[in-house]
Structure 1
Amino acid sequence: MADVDDYFASLDASSRDAFARIRALAEELAPAAEQGTSYGMAALRWRGKPLLGFKAAKDHLAVFPFSPAAIDAVRDQLVGYSLSKGTIRFSAEQPLPDDVVRAVVRHRLDEIG
């Protein structure tokens, strides 16, 4: 898997824009985050650990904070979104709220230390 820029370039415009907005929010909080991969997907990495992964599927987009606790921290704010232990699914038409993205990233940054 290529880095985040290469992965985003392979996506359709609406998916790319949705992910780019999330990435920009994450980089506001972690400006030194590096592009890379984790678990076979494009990801931002912080201090050598995965911070936030990105994956587009046929019928949804998903971010992976690599932490069930990070998802649990915002679960009440994501009514109507599809969640699993390590995944938040959404669409370009129903993007993730900015405050939720920031909360997930902050939680993950605190976990990484």
Structure 2
Amino acid sequence: MYHGRPLVGFGAAKNHCSFYLMSSSIIPKLARARTGKLKGYDVSGATVHFTLDKPLLATLVTKLVKERITENEKRTKK
């Protein structure tokens, strides 16, 4: 929780892991920016799926968490 709202989460299944963004606006925003940071990962809504063979890059996790922090702060100010 950050500012009273969920920030991010992780999940693990038998064949993959998931990074939950708790927001459906961040992934489309990155896709529009055409940064390619999500290339090679399965994406569904507000979730990025990955495997132990291809873990999420630390720089990507940092960017996604910072985006969520910013989003939570903006929502708190309203």
Above 0.5 in TM-score?
yes
Q: Which has the higher contact order (CA 8 A, sep 6+)?
A: 2
Q: How big is the shift at 1:90?
A: 0.5
Query: Are 1:66 and 2:22 an aligned pair?
Result: yes
TM-score (norm. length: structure 2) = 0.78
**Uncovered stretches (5+) of structure 1, i.e. residues with no partner:** 1-44
Aligned-residue identity in percent: 33
Unpaired stretches in structure 2, ≥5 consecutive residues: 74-78
The runs of at least 4 consecutive aligned structure 1 residues that moved more than 6 Å come to: none
RMSD of equivalent CA atoms: 1.3
Corresponding residue pairs, total = 69
Q: How does 1:1-113 map to 2 (within 5 A)?
A: 45-75=1-31, 76-113=36-73
TM-score (norm 1): 0.56
Deviation at 1:104? 0.5
Deviation per CA, 1:11-66: give whole Å up to 9, x if none: xxxxxxxxxxxxxxxxxxxxxxxxxxxxxxxxxx1122110111111110001011
